[in-house]
Amino acid sequence: MNHPFRSRLASGRPIVADGAMGTQIYGRGIAYDECFDWQSIERPELIEAIHREYIQAGAEIIETNTFGANRFRLAAHGLDDRVGDINRKAARLARGAREICGESVFVAGSVGPTARTLLPYGNAEPSDVREAFEEQIAALLEGGVDLLVLETFSDLDEIELAIEAARSVADVPIIAEMTFGEDLCTPRGYTPQQVADRLTALGADVVGANCSVGPSMLLDVVEGLLAAGAPCVSAMPNAGFPNRVDGRLIYLSSPEYVADYGRRMVDLGAVIVGGCCGTTPSHTYALKRALSEGERRTAVIEVALPPEPEPLHEPAAEESSFRGKLGRQRVISVEIRPPRGANPAKAVAGACLLRDAGADAVNVVDSAMARVRMGAVATAVLVRQEAAIDSILHFTTRDRNLMAIQSDLIGAHALGVRNVLALTGDPPSLGDYAHAKAVYDIDSIGLIRVISQLNQGVDTGGNSIGTPTNFLIGCALNPTTDDLEYELDRFARKLDAGAHFVMTQPVYDAELFESVLSRIGPCDVPILMGILPLQNYRHALFIHNELPGVRLTEEALVRMERAGAEGIPEGLALAKEMIDDCGHLVAGIYVMPSFGRYEMAAQLVSDLLVPV
């Protein structure tokens, strides 16, 4: 089977590599006299963050933080016995960053020279040097790198030992790069022709140049390597000459300048372009954009480009009415229930009806009353895609352990879900499967904290998830509970945990609701008042006696009993009166239709939107 990296090389499409690792480590406050390679053990979150930044900037190859992680260089820091640990850890960090970002990038094991001069000019035995390379490369491969980048070598004999060491360990793709001076020769005097001839003969998949002086000079080296017949050429220049400013090394070549030369190198025939000392994710981003623009210009000449596709599952601007209006003008959300089976047609049709009536969002419940229905995440995504209306996902902790909670939330965010109502969930004893076991690793307060951490880009273990989520977090409030002190204490803790908006249980008593709001006091978080229109007297008795935490007034029960066959109009009248009495005290209305009667809810929404 052909290696994926070799297949990519054969495609001829240019590949963007990352920029400097050392520059980024130094820029984060690590002094030059510290061991940069050791930071993979000492500060793994820092190294992983640098990898992520390069991936997010567009790099398709990221190099491990192991340039000097051979026994000779590590000995200067007393770490020569940690070669395996450092290289394996660095490879895993790069792979972890790739997984977090979810991009198909190649992880390249960085192997630099030993800083020892070989015999007869120095005192380094070639066999010792080769053994050091074998030790490092074996550890990198154990850590899971996809290929090797042998970089910044000045001695062809030494890089030959590195290639031989790699081949003795595994048949892994190799990018072999030398460093050149202003005279277009390596520090040991080798020309691009000699480098191309020898490294190609040794079986390097890619022959290239890195570090050196800057992009301008390296362009000439690339031209020389190509003229010499090197089959695949790479170029990773420094960002010009470094200047020392206030004790720090500053590279002055701008991202645009480096990107311009990178595009020229590709135009000449280079396959891989990236950066070395002084280059940053900004340089990578500029380089990626420059190459993309070049590809578009070429495509326009050959064939008309298709229109740019819409981002996967990203809502159009007009669909995001709920978040945009919340706290600024009154919003209306209506609850829909997922289907009992696999056909979402009724839920989608109901969402369309409510959208046309003027609702800003629909609440998608999560197996309310512990009865089995289609998953709320799937329903929310289907509704949003088919009905083009914002959804508020009810998410409970009843059925998921802490790991599954985070996994499902990350997946929901990837599918476009942005609004979540954090709930503990009804216990299974209420539903169809009373023998089922609830999980409840955390309650709704803990769930809000979990979502808040995901919004900060980390999971509950403090591990980065890459790009932070962007959830709008809702919490519940029950104004009619028997133990109001306990409810208000939990409500305050929900707000402290990071809730952004509030949705209440159904309320039927304006005086009670006003007193609860008075107890809460000034609240910067928008509150949506729950409204559940009654259908008939029997329905009213069920709500009052069997729906957990909800109580009707004696007046409401009497009116529904007297209404008889006219229960639906009377139920709507009670709902409208509650909204008339208290609607001005809240940021919006949360309508909960019973029995899937979305037309009744749509009528109420339409009536609410009619100017008085």
The pLDDT of residue 432: 54
Q: Would you say residue 302 has pLDDT above 50?
A: no
Check: CATH 3.20.20.10 for 4-302? no
Q: Which amino acid is at 126?
A: P
The answer to whether the predicted template modeling score (pTM) of the entire model surpasses 0.85 is no
- Distances in Å between the alpha carbon of 205 and those of 149, 177, 274, 289? 10, 11, 17, 26
pLDDT tier, 434 (very low <50, low <70, confident <90, very high otherwise): low
pLDDT tier, 9 (very low <50, low <70, confident <90, very high otherwise): very high
The pLDDT of residue 317: 36
Bridge pairing between strands 272-273 and 331-336: unpaired
pLDDT tier, 242 (very low <50, low <70, confident <90, very high otherwise): low
Tens digits of per-residue pLDDT, 267-296?
A: 999 999 999 999 999 999 999 999 987 654
CATH topology of domain 317-607: TIM Barrel (3.20.20)
Residue 245's Cβ-count burial label (10 Å; 0-12, 13-18, 19+) is exposed
Bridge pairing between strands 527-531 and 361-364: unpaired
The pLDDT of residue 240: 72
Q: Which residues contact 201 (CB under 8 A, 6 or more apart)?
A: none
Average pLDDT in the 99-118 region?
93
Q: Would you say residue 594 has pLDDT above 90?
A: no
Q: Would you say residue 313 has pLDDT above 70?
A: no
Q: Identical fold at 4-302 and 317-607? A: yes
- Residue 581 CA, chain-centre distance (Å), reads 44
Q: Would you say residue 301 has pLDDT above 90?
A: no
The pLDDT of residue 596: 77
Average pLDDT in the 589-603 region?
88
Give the whole-angstrom CA distance, residue 601 versus residue 591: 7
Q: Which amino acid is at 161?
A: L
Domain residue spans of the chain:
4-302, 317-607
Q: Give the orientation angle of helix 83-101 with respect to helix 44-57, to 10 degrees.
A: 40
Tens digits of per-residue pLDDT, 336-394?
A: 989 888 888 889 999 999 999 999 999 999 876 657 789 999 999 999 999 999 999 99
Beta bridge partners, 106, equal 61
pLDDT tier, 425 (very low <50, low <70, confident <90, very high otherwise): confident
The pLDDT of residue 296: 47
The string over 533-554, giving b where at least 16 C-beta atoms fall within 10 Å of a residue's C-beta and e elsewhere, is bbbbbebbeebbeeeeebbbbe
Average pLDDT in the 217-234 region?
94
- Neighbouring CB atoms inside 10 A of 58's CB total 19
Bridge pairing between strands 248-251 and 242-245: antiparallel
- The CA-based diameter of the chain, rounded to the nearest angstrom, is 108
Structure tokens at 154: 């000045």
Mean pLDDT highest for which of 38-42, 213-217, 295-299, 317-321?
Answer: 38-42
Tens digits of per-residue pLDDT, 438-493?
A: 888 999 999 999 999 999 999 998 888 888 999 999 999 999 998 999 999 999 99
Task: Give the mean pLDDT of the chain.
Answer: 89
The pLDDT of residue 321: 74
- Stronger pLDDT, 321 or 561, i.e. the higher one: 561
